[in-house]
Amino acid sequence: MLLADLLWRRTVVSQQWLAEKLEMKSAANVSQQLRRLDCKEVMKKVPEELKHFLEEVDAPNS
């Protein structure tokens, strides 16, 4: 779900595209799962290297 959330927030892909490519049944299911996602809980399970990468990507350009 973290991948779906990252793609949804950072790109222009549709929820239908996410459903098809990530094999998540339907766009409605993607929408429901994204609403239910607790990012803080998910981020606890993310490897440190990925967390650092995401922080760098989110940092404003200097």
Per-residue pLDDT averaged across 9-18, rounded?
94
Residue 57: pLDDT over 90: no
pTM score, whole prediction: 0.73
Per-residue pLDDT, 31: 96
pLDDT mean over 28-45: 91
d(CA 19, CA 7): 12
pLDDT at 55: 85
* Residue ranges covered by each domain of the chain: 2-58
Helix (H), strand (E), coil (C) string for the chain: CHHHHHHHHHCCCCHHHHHHHCCCCCHHHHHHHHHHCCHHHHHCCCCHHHHHHHHHHHCCCC
**Confidence band for 22, pLDDT divided at 50, 70 and 90:** very high
